[in-house]
Structure 1
């Protein structure tokens, strides 16, 4: 069990193509629509839920000290953030205590809206999330986050070396996406047909 304080953030992270906002009640209906798609459910290993269960899940996720969840909005030039289209989500799941040897922070990203795929949205969302969660812009070729962003909630920031991602072996686009962020395949788990990738840092230094 975790003994650290609540991992809740109200941070809004703004990039050039996307804005990351905390997952709130107003996002649930759309999220539920996404998750009614069997393909997306399969890709994200998710159970079908009723909309009521999805509301309960959102509340639980929001209050879970081991999860950091942002909704990805497409950044529009005009208008209020509340009107920007919801296109996906990006998550960090902490496993164990940061002081443990085997502590890891598992990263997940999903661009659910077809029209927004293959346009660099996932890459930018990951950069923003990972810079925020690790406090290391230089590791993710990132723009430094503006001063107005609150520091990440405890037990963040985590060391980039703790970051891990698990991806289906067939998912070439995702694998190359994480390679661009300096992750490398560290393990192949054939029984689940998946690879495990960890942050190894840029070898240019």
Structure 2
């Protein structure tokens, strides 16, 4: 989506930045890892195909993505590539339910796992949709609860990805609605209610949003 192309979101331990061409090479190395491919149910792509996919993330109105940076690493290095630890995505691809958003999150760097980055990223990403663009245009729904007018979130997780299943079940109260033995994945959902919105507000006290240009870093490929 173009509307988040100049957006950076800050929180206590992470930054979310738009997926740009300069991120593709590192992202491509992640997606050559067999474990990550299995956990994300993805197929390996060539580097050329990866650059093409980056452009679809930028241009398609049914996708919203951010690269996750470790704030600690970024504060130390001021280098986006060295600070990259994963990505978070939202798909609006259910033609039968235009108010349903499918979430995906990947913490690709092994050293960044089990440190709370995934949980904080989800709280931050969901809050971004609820607050950022409500002021921009109440009729132009974009990223999550109030902006895309999302009333139901779903996730599809590989049956072997027990940490992710536990994360969505325990922290966000997602409930299983379908298990596919054929695709070896479970589909879970969380309907939006007042309790869910209050949870996002409570869990993101350090949330801040700003212009990506203000980071003032080298983004050459």
Tell me which residue corresponds to 2:151: 161
Tell me which residue corresponds to 2:93: 95
Q: Deviations over 1:97-131 (max 9, x none)?
A: 6xx64642100000000000011111111111111
Q: Structure 1 or 2: larger helix share?
A: 2
Tell me which residue corresponds to 2:163: 173
Which stretch of structure 1 is more off in the superposition, 56-65 or 40-49? Answer: 40-49
Q: Distance in 2 between matches of 1:55 and 1:85?
A: 20
Q: Secondary structure at the match of 2:118?
A: helix
Higher relative contact order (CA 8 A, sep 6+): 2
TM-score of the aligned structures, taking structure 2 as reference length: 0.74
* RMSD over aligned Cα atoms: 2.9
Tell me which residue corresponds to 1:63: 59
Tell me which residue corresponds to 1:105: 101
TM-score of the aligned structures, taking structure 1 as reference length: 0.79
Q: Distance in 2 between matches of 1:183 and 1:84?
A: 33
Unaligned 5+ segments in structure 1 are 1-5, 136-144
Number of aligned residues = 187
Unaligned 5+ segments in structure 2 are 200-221
Q: Distance in 1 between matches of 2:48 and 2:80?
A: 22
Q: Deviations over 1:12-50 (max 9, x none)?
A: 111111100000011001001111112211221222212
